[in-house]
Amino acid sequence: MPLEIERTGPSRSSVRQTVVWLLLLGSACIPISLLWDYSWECSIGIDSVWAPPHLATYLSVATCAISALALVGISTLSPVGRASSVRLGALHAPIGAWLALWGAAAFLVALLFERWWRATYGLGAGIWHPPQISKAVAYFSVLIGVWLVCLWGQNQSSRAIGSAQALGFTSAGALVLAMVTIVTLVTNYPNRQHSVWFYELSCSTYPVLLAALAIAGKLPYPATAASLAYMTILCLMVWLLPLFPAKPQMAPIYNAMNHMMPPPFPLLLAVPAVAFDVLIRNCDWSQYRFRFWLQAGLAGVAFLILFIAGQWLFAEFLLTDQADNWFFAGGGRHWPFFLKISAGAQRDFWIMADKEMNMSNILTCAALSIGAVALGVWIGHWMQRLRR
């Protein structure tokens, strides 16, 4: 009998680990399919329910849902799994699996809601209409759920720092970073990167995730690794999508094209991410009385300075002829076929009179960045304690 239990234990653990990796793979396909969908709408324009990018998204969410259900079954049938999971009725699963399942169900509801909305109001009902917002919430729920499942695996692991579970947690965090970029994609064009709105939005979002990664990750430099993985995902789509032929199939056509349009080049998050790993993770703050706010203040200001300095100059480069190539996909040359834009505006910075970067707006960005880091540090410490 002991030998039988011993053989069953590792087998069940191996199956569970395989399911977690399948869950991570399905979640990785969500931002990839959404970037494909963005390029499809900007290049071809026919946005049917059964368009190939939409099918890829459906399959990605379904993969996550099936994998999460498998985790429910494994946890419910295992005494060890029940002890390290959250109970819902007679069923048990890690909290991340429950969140991913809720996100998959919310996506199905949002999809039906969108079909009704389009039948009622037509296709030209705006970009961020209620069904689109509902779908975005569902995507974030699935991705954050997968992130928590990977965190659960990392925290349950007794292996050394740098294990496969730690790599999974960092990779899932990179997918959440990518999702933030995708939902704010229209504000990430280089033409908008001298406007205060772009920096206010960035300072309010990315520091939360980078700080949580720096605190809870078990890789040597988790925030840096996640930001590099984030850049890799988006760069691959920037480089690969234009390899496929495409042409607009709807009017009006203001920008003719013969290939898929690349999304904007990813943000340089790796620059401030290094500072986060140094200031938040590797510095000893135990001797300071107000270490929480000191940590948040220094990391928040570091993010503001490094991100603005790097992105401001990089945006100027992206609008030059030197960036008009396959690698950077810049030069102000790639625009949706339906967008009417003058030749001058393609390479200009779009700055409204009240949205210029002045000292008052910089202080606002600093406050947002510090607050975001403080929230991220709090979330990171909560993540360190998560065992279910």
**Number of other CB atoms surrounding residue 181 within 10 Å:** 24
Dihedral angle at the C-alpha atoms of 255, 256, 258, 261, nearest 10 degrees?
10
Model confidence at 27: pLDDT above 70: yes
**The pLDDT value given to residue 4:** 37
What does the pLDDT read at residue 6? 36
Q: Which tokens sit at 266? A: 């990813």
Domain match, 286 and 355 both: yes
End position of a domain, from candidates 123, 156, 189: 156
Same domain, 116 and 237: no
Where does the pLDDT of residue 88 fall: very low under 50, low under 70, confident under 90, or very high at 90 and above?
confident
Q: Please give the average per-residue pLDDT across 301-315, as a whole number.
A: 95
pLDDT at 222 > cutoff 50? yes
Say how many C-beta atoms besides its own lie within 10 A of residue 91's C-beta. 16
Question: Rounded CA gap, 259 and 237, in Å?
Answer: 13
Give residue-wise pLDDT tens across range 250-289.
888 999 899 999 999 999 999 999 999 998 877 766 676 6
Could you tell me if 152 and 164 lie in one domain? no
Are 220 and 344 within one domain?
Answer: yes
- Residue identified by tokens 């000893």 is 284
Q: In this structure, are 228 and 359 located in the same domain? A: yes
Domain boundary pick from 156, 182, 210: 156
Measured N-to-C along each axis, helices 196-216 and 222-240 cross at an angle, to the nearest 10 degrees, of 130
Report pLDDT for 7: 41
- Structure token digits, residue 340: 């009417």
Q: How far apart are the first and last CA of the chain?
A: 29
Residue 216 has what pLDDT?
92
Assign 83 a pLDDT band (cuts: 50, 70, 90): confident
Domain of 250 in residue numbering reads as 160-388
- In this prediction, residue 159 has a pLDDT band, given cuts at 50, 70 and 90, of low
User: Are 320 and 204 contained in the same domain?
Assistant: yes
- 323 and 382 in a single domain? The answer is yes
Q: Are residues 68 and 150 in contact, defined by beta-carbon separation less than 8 angstroms? A: no
- Same domain for 164 and 152, yes or no, is no
Indicate the residue among 156, 176, 195 that finishes a domain.
156
DSSP 264: P
Q: DSSP for 114-165?
A: HHHHHHHH-S-S-SS-HHHHHHHHHHHHHHHHHHHHHHHHHHH--SPTT-HH
* Of the listed ranges 20-29, 126-135, 225-234, 250-259, the one predicted with least confidence: 126-135
pLDDT of residue 89: 83
Q: What is the pLDDT of residue 172?
A: 96
Angle between helices 52-77 and 95-121 (to 10 degrees): 150
Average pLDDT across the chain, whole number: 88
In this structure, the answer to whether residues 303 and 164 fall within a common structural domain is: yes
- Residue 189 shares a structural domain with residue 237: yes
User: Residue 377: pLDDT above 70?
Assistant: yes
Residues 125 and 168 in one domain: no
Residue 310 has pLDDT above 50, yes or no: yes
**How many residues in total does the chain contain?**
388
**Residue percentage of the chain with pLDDT more than 90:** 62
How many structural domains is the chain composed of? 2
CA 171 and chain centroid, separation: 10
Extract the tokens encoding 38.
Answer: 């963005």
Backbone dihedral angles phi then psi of residue 245, each to the nearest 5 degrees:
-70, 145
pLDDT of 36 strictly over 70: yes
pLDDT of residue 2: 38
pLDDT of residue 3: 35
Cα gap 333→104, rounded to integer Å: 37
Contact 375, 301 (CB under 8 A): no
Q: Are residues 125 and 215 in the same domain?
A: no
Higher pLDDT pick, 128 / 126: 128
What is the spatial distance between Cα 154 and Cα 387, in angstroms, rounded to a whole number?
A: 9
Q: Mean pLDDT lowest for which of 19-23, 116-120, 335-339?
A: 116-120
